[in-house]
A and B are shown apart, each in its own frame.
Chain A
């Protein structure tokens, strides 16, 4: 699907060849990563990164397996609670707290996915939404979650016993590392034979079954992977903001992952990152302006669905592909 490593033999020299271009992109990315926390407010950049990973994890399911989950907040917020509790009450170091959150999200994902993949399409969306609402009520009522207050003042701790994460830059590089790891996993999964089977299921599930694939297993694995990565994003977010709260498990949070992915481009690798950056920026600006955020969010939804279904990155890729011979 992506054409970024293919070179055009008809026009040698105009564009650098694949490897050089990848290196150039990597260098540019590295420069941006170094500059970002100095140019922008570090917590803002970390928030964007966490949401970008969250949206990418969601997009793995929607964009590559064609499954619309409306309950990803359960994994994102559930993992935030687990990692916050592990760091604060059990005294886990940050790396183990994030790991605990991720593992809990994977387990929840296994359970929810096992139930939800029994139905397709619209029903799948409704089932995941209902199951995540159950997690919301559990978070509201269970003793360890702190009810309406959530878990506050979560210690960031010392990474591997060496790096004190109370330093914003250290925290930033940790978040960047976690998120890059997540993106790498997603990229690897999408370009693997496993990812190809997922795309086959998305395009035509009966045909994939007739070719001998046990599509349920592929869908379940994709669901668990997506849930685990969404959980990793949520667990990291809990450490960044030192807070796990009910907001993280509401269905509106699931809606945000959908919005970021839709705006950036469903089924593109970079789309959710672009979408997350835009949506978080927008929310930050609107927060002080008095314009109701939900109305604007809803409006973007409507416009994207009606006029802009490829999303930003999807539209760019589409134009580039059409121009190329």
Chain B
């Protein structure tokens, strides 16, 4: 049946899998952006740079300390999260009382510094990162071969996304977080340490970016510029989904990844811009985004 469309099923499913993987990264990154935006009202322009830092931490752990993928999966997000805490406490905190655009400009400056620094030290070429032994090889599903690592990335990323959704929407800590998003002054009056919550939120959001970086390391090469173009697509994803809803960010991310994969099969020339075109269409039809609220 698929042959009728003039596309071999191997190519179609291969691209769909790639789309699903990209979509998982979009989902992880836009989720982090949405969590940070909800609490801090800052759009974190350094998100792509911190994703890159996550991948580099994994690479450095391997090459300098001989610690492999599974160590990196735990340590790199912690390291990036700690860096996030420092940035929030040291710099971002001073901007909450002024226009939110300054937060955007500050994180943009940080992104330039981080990426420029890594490029200065490591050059523009990518570093290879091996797939962990446990996840080498693949499974033949009958219609295509599924490489184990790629399957793992999709499953793990989705698990993290839904875990985050659960933590925010269904737990006590999450309810406090949501309350503090709605009305920080009132929540503070109830004796909850809102500034600490803000710091931890930022740390958690960027840790998600660091985690995405580790997951990406064996698929894409580890290079200083790996986050720059990705993050702009993620911004478009965020505009399309609207930052009001956690689940919305996840679904939009995965959906757009798949759509990008499909475009690669049927009209490859447009695959780079399809997300931006969809963003334009969504802005025309539903300016607040698919899951967003007008405000």
Contacts and interface: CB of A to CB of B under 8 A. Distances in A.
Interface of A: 68, 115-116, 118-119, 121-123, 125-127, 129-131, 133-134, 137-138, 140-141, 251, 255, 258, 262, 292-295, 297-302, 304-306, 309
Interface in B18-56: 37, 41, 43
Interface string B113-127: 111110110000000
A119 B289 CA distance: 10
A172 to B, nearest CB: 32
Find the residue from A68, A141, A262, A305 having the highest chain B CB count within 10 A.
A305
B269 interface: yes
B95 interface: yes
A183 to B, nearest CB: 24
Given A126-B43, A129-B232, A251-B232, A68 B101 contact: yes
Interface residues of B, number: 44
Nearest to A130: B236
Given A130-B279, A294-B119, A295-B120, A125 B43 contact: yes
A295 B113 contact: yes
Given A115-B284, A297-B116, A304-B105, 18 more contacts: A118-B283, A119-B283, A119-B287, A122-B37, A126-B43, A126-B235, A130-B233, A131-B276, A134-B273, A134-B276, A292-B117, A292-B120, A294-B119, A298-B108, A298-B109, A302-B91, A302-B106, A304-B109
B251 interface: no
30 contacts: A68-B101, A115-B283, A118-B287, A121-B101, A122-B37, A122-B41, A122-B101, A125-B43, A126-B235, A127-B283, A130-B275, A131-B280, A133-B276, A134-B276, A140-B272, A141-B272, A251-B232, A262-B105, A292-B117, A292-B120, A294-B112, A294-B113, A294-B115, A297-B109, A298-B110, A301-B108, A302-B91, A302-B106, A306-B94, A309-B102
B61 interface: no
B276 A130 contact: yes
A302 B113 contact: yes
A107 to B, nearest CB: 15
Contact of B112 (A295, A305, A306): A295
Given A255-B108, A298-B109, A293 B235 contact: no
Majority DSSP secondary structure for residues of B touching A: helix
B280 A115 contact: yes
Contacts of A125: 43, 101, 104
Contacts of A138: 273
B105 A127 contact: no
A301 B91 CA distance: 12
